[in-house]
């Protein structure tokens, strides 16, 4: 991710020695927007290769990063994650259990971790097969982390996005402020108490995953960046992941287009539900959650710009992602929500055109049609105006 804090080679060598690693060179990682990261080349690495990622967490307190280490150890062996190395010193050298170990070095009230590099590369574009696989991986993550109880003890607090919303809406054009307000209101009206929740990743973008892309196939080899793991509704984590994996983001030369692929979303949901089926409330909430998830990352990017400005963060190593892209994705999803609020799907008996059922989503109608297991039933879409 972006590099905010500068360290000397002597500092890198001392920190790496605390993890039992012999330091040779640090290579800055400039992708991302929150923490300072470097690849670490050891004395055993040949030129051009590196074995570890060194992270200095700019915002999260060290206690939160210790929790993250426990989470990664819980997932290790079931999903491709990089568990932090334990600190080697007089107090931990004889530790027999993971609970006795420390995985964090403190530096100026910030946390430092060292994790093994995972094989693979970030995908430039995703496929339906990749969306299916990341869906299944996210569901397995949700199920595996249910073993950590109480969940609130391991997750970090959710960020107060409502405060950021209130600050940023003061400076937005009227149409943008209305879009954000409408989505937020619709989210608050969901039956949130009935939606399953637990520890969620909440930042599973394609650039936080690694894949073996050799020989025309894509195999998931790494899940990254567990700093945002919090207790949240699973369907919100699903929406966040869908929003990036199922969207093609055009580069600046192409006008930074935002193209959402609903066939990729269907593949993702098929993969997810192969491990953990969604309940009816989650299915109904998903369209609004997709819009709310886009709003959250719209606000996140505005927040980064705000803090870069107020704290004087500048330089070539600082990367800022365009908040307008998430605004446009939020508008796309909201348009579908508004359409669905004015649309119903009728399940009809084709011989006599009698109405068998009325559904608020095409997915519900298709599920009912499958249960009937007959080719004599058809689905027709109508607006409420047409029915009246």
- The domain locations on the chain are 9-116, 128-340, 342-387
- Residue-wise pLDDT tens digits, 121-160: 999 899 999 999 999 999 999 999 999 999 999 999 999 9
pLDDT at 319: 62
Residues, the chain, total?
388
Tell me whether the CATH fold assigned to 9-116 matches the one assigned to 128-340.
no
- Residue 205's DSSP bridge partners are none
Question: For residue 5, which of 45, 41, 50, 55 has the smallest C-alpha distance?
Answer: 55
Q: Which residue has the tokens 């943008």?
A: 176
Q: Extract long-range pairs of 363-372: CB within 8 Å, 24+ residues apart.
A: 363/283, 364/280, 364/283
pLDDT at 341: 74
For residues 77 and 55, the answer to whether their CB atoms sit within 8 Å is no
For residue 183, the tally of other CB atoms under 10 A from its CB is: 24
Q: Which residue has the tokens 């590369």?
A: 121
Q: Which fold has domain 128-340?
A: Aminoglycoside 3'-phosphotransferase; Chain: A, domain 2 (3.90.1200)
pLDDT at 350: 80
- Residue-wise pLDDT tens digits, 95-119: 445 556 788 999 999 999 999 999 9
pLDDT at 93: 44
Q: Rounded to an integer, what distance in angstroms lies between the CA atom of residue 163 and that of residue 166?
A: 5
Q: Rounded to an integer, what distance in angstroms lies between the CA atom of residue 51 and that of residue 73?
A: 19
Beta strands 36-42 and 52-57: pairing type? antiparallel
The architecture that CATH gives domain 9-116 is 2-Layer Sandwich (3.30)
Question: For residue 141, which of 65, 72, 225, 220 has the smallest C-alpha distance?
Answer: 72
Q: Rounded to an integer, what distance in angstroms lies between the CA atom of residue 271 and that of residue 136?
A: 5
Q: Which residues of the chain are under the pLDDT cut of 70?
A: 1-3, 31-33, 89-100, 252-255, 313-319, 384-388
């Amino acid at each position: 991710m972006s590099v905010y804090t500068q360290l000397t080679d002597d500092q890198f060598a001392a920190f790496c020695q605390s993890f039992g690693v012999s330091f040779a060179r640090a290579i800055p990682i400039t992708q991302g927007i929150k923490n300072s990261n470097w690849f670490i080349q050891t004395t055993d690495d040949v030129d051009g290769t590196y074995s570890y990622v060194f992270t200095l967490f700019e915002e999260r307190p060290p206690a939160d990063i210790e929790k993250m280490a426990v989470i990664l150890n819980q997932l290790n062996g079931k999903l491709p994650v990089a568990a932090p190395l334990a600190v080697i010193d007089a107090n931990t050298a004889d530790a027999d259990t993971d609970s006795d170990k420390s995985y964090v070095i403190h530096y100026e009230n910030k946390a430092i971790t060292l994790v093994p590099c995972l094989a693979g590369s970030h995908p430039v574009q995703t496929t339906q097969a990749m969306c299916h696989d990341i869906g299944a991986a996210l569901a397995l993550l949700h199920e595996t982390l249910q073993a950590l109880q109480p969940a609130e003890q391991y997750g970090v607090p959710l960020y107060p996005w409502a405060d950021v919303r209130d600050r940023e809406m003061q400076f937005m054009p009227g149409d943008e402020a209305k879009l954000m307000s409408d989505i937020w209101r619709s989210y608050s009206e969901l039956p949130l108490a009935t939606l399953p929740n637990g520890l969620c990743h909440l930042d599973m973008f394609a650039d936080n995953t690694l894949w073996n892309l050799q020989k025309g196939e894509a195999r998931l080899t790494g899940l990254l960046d567990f700093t945002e793991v919090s207790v949240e509704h699973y369907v919100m984590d699903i929406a966040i992941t869908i929003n990036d994996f199922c969207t093609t983001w055009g580069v600046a030369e192409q006008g930074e287009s935002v193209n959402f692929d609903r066939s990729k979303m269907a593949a993702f949901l098929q993969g997810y539900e192969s491990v953990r089926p969604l309940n009816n409330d989650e299915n109904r909430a998903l369209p609004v959650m997709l819009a709310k998830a886009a709003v959250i990352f719209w606000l996140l990017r505005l927040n980064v710009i705000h803090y870069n400005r107020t704290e004087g963060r500048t330089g070539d190593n600082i990367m800022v992602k365009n908040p307008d892209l998430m605004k446009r994705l939020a508008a796309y999803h909201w348009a579908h929500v508004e359409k669905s609020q004015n649309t119903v799907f009728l399940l009809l008996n084709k011989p006599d055109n009698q109405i068998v059922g009325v559904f608020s989503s095409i997915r519900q109608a298709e599920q009912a049609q499958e249960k009937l297991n007959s080719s004599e039933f058809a689905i027709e879409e109508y607006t409420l105006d047409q029915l009246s």
